[in-house]
């Protein structure tokens, strides 16, 4: 029991689902919290259900609650058709232990027959310009550009997003990150809406982002504490895009 409770990293499945080669969308804490905001919004609008959560000794001993409801901070969802999965993490992750977490995630999605993971994230900025960008292998970048999503010409990605993309290069999984400029000091629902709009164009979805855009004040209040924790974390150990 002791080893089970404090394992390096494992995915605990609430139900054993057979998935249909799903595309995986992932959102982690970053600038403007656009990762969790956009993925969380997709989960809600697509009526996705939680099927698993991630446990690891490398995660901080914390839980998340929204409107009084407790939930695991690192969760996995799927839609009714089992063609889409969503990974959402609502706590900051340190560099220590990321390799275990990354390997566990990719091993699991390979086992479930997935061949593509899309990471939604933000680039710290003082302004948002309603544009989405991408970083991926060349063929996928061309597809994105055909949908009005320009590639970032050069730079580097660190943290969990960078680790996932790097590991995808060595596996039979396409890795891509969709990026927007986002506020580096508070939650940025408008930037998150731009990300979801980019997902709509690139993956032929029809998720209405009007609620995300209209609810920016409430969303900002709900995620204020998490945003402040990210700001502290960013000073010493954060993901970065250049």
**Within-domain flag for 240:** no
- The CATH number of residue 177's host domain is 3.40.50.10900
3-class secondary-structure state, position 133: strand
Write out the DSSP string of 202-229: HHT-----HHHHHTHHHHHHHTHHHHHH
191: nearest Cα among 43, 32, 26, 40:
32
**Within-domain flag for 54:** yes
d(CA 35, CA 30): 7
Q: Is residue 214 pLDDT above 60, yes or no?
A: yes
Domain count, the chain: 1
Q: Assign 236 a pLDDT band (cuts: 50, 70, 90).
A: very low
The one-character DSSP state at 32 is: G
Percent of the chain with pLDDT over 90: 51
Entry pTM: 0.86
3-class secondary-structure state, position 194: helix
φ, ψ at 168 (rounded to 5°): -65, -30
**Within-domain flag for 242:** no
Cα 88 to the chain's mean position, in Å? 5
Domain holding 219, by residue range, is 2-234
d(CA 206, CA 209): 9
Q: How high is the pLDDT of residue 57?
A: 84
d(CA 78, CA 92): 23
pLDDT in tens, 63-74: 565 555 667 889
């Amino acid at each position: 029991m002791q080893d089970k409770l404090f394992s390096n990293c494992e995915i605990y499945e609430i139900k054993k689902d057979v998935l249909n080669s799903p595309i995986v969308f992932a959102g982690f804490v970053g600038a403007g919290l656009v990762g969790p905001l956009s993925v969380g919004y997709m989960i809600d609008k697509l009526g996705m259900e939680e099927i698993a959560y991630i446990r690891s000794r490398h995660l901080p001993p914390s839980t998340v609650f929204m409107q009084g409801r407790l939930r695991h901070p690192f969760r996995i969802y799927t839609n009714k058709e089992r063609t889409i999965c969503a990974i959402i993490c609502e706590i900051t992750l340190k560099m220590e232990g990321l390799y275990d977490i990354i390997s566990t995630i990719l091993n699991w999605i390979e086992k479930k027959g997935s061949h593509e993971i899309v990471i939604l994230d933000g680039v710290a900025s003082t302004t948002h310009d309603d544009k989405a960008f991408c970083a991926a292998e060349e063929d996928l970048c061309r597809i994105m550009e055909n949908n009005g999503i320009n590639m970032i010409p050069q730079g580097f990605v660190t943290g969990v997003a960078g680790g996932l993309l790097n590991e995808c290069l060595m596996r039979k999984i396409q890795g891509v990150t969709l990026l927007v400029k986002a506020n580096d000091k508070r939650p940025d629902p408008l930037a998150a809406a731009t990300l979801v709009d980019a997902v709509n164009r690139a993956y032929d979805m029809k998720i209405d982002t009007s609620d995300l855009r209209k609810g920016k004040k409430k969303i900002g209040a709900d995620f204020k504490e998490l945003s402040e924790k990210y700001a502290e974390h960013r000073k010493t150990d954060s993901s970065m895009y250049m």
